[in-house]
Amino acid sequence: MIDYTKEELVELLRKHPEKFNEWKLEQEEVDLSEVDFSGINLSEIDFSDADLNSSSFADCSLSFVNFSNADLTSVDFTRAGVLECDFTDALLTGADCSYAQMTYCNFSDTDMAGCILSETDLSNSDMTAAVNLNSSRYDEDTVWPDDDMLPEDFDGTGHKDLSSLQDEEDEVSSDW
């Protein structure tokens, strides 16, 4: 069994993604936490059960990637193109998906607490069983899938980002 460094695994993913998938099958644990994958095009990669905590996929093009049961806590997906990826049972807590195109993805049982979805395009993604979607951060420019692809108790139209919350103006008394 070959033992790669994180840097060598990134190069393997760039040049020979099929060899990465073969290598991963032999691993009990895959620790890719805090790895910078920025700008890489990845297709048909198996990241299932991997620890990707605090990694960056910023400006990546990802298609048919399996993130099921992966730890994606605080991962950076800003400006990424994410097409038909599987996030089933993944942890997306605190992940930043701002300005990303995350279309035709499966978010079944994905924990999205604190996930930043500002100006994210989630068109045609299945979010019906997403967990803690009400605890995510999004804005009026977030593009949601059709209502039948969202949890029944979710309404993305009236939500304001927590940063927009303000205290009511107290009346200023002119008594000195």
Model confidence pLDDT, tens digit, residues 87-139: 999 999 999 999 999 999 999 999 999 999 999 999 999 999 999 999 999 99
User: Residue 80 is part of which domain span?
Assistant: 35-152
In this prediction, residue 3 has a pLDDT band, given cuts at 50, 70 and 90, of confident
What's the whole-model pTM score? 0.86
Domain count, the chain: 1
Cα angle 126, 127, 132 (rounded to 5 degrees) comes to 165
3-state secondary structure 53-113: CCCECCCCEEECCECCCCECCCCECCCCEEECCECCCCECCCCECCCCEEECCECCCCECC
Structure-token pair, residue 166:
């303000």
Structural domain contains residue 159: no
pLDDT in tens, 54-69: 999 999 999 999 999 9
Structural domain contains residue 20: no
Cα-Cα-Cα-Cα torsion 80, 115, 64, 122, nearest 10 degrees, comes to -80
Structural domain contains residue 82: yes
The CATH number assigned to the domain holding 106 equals 2.160.20.80
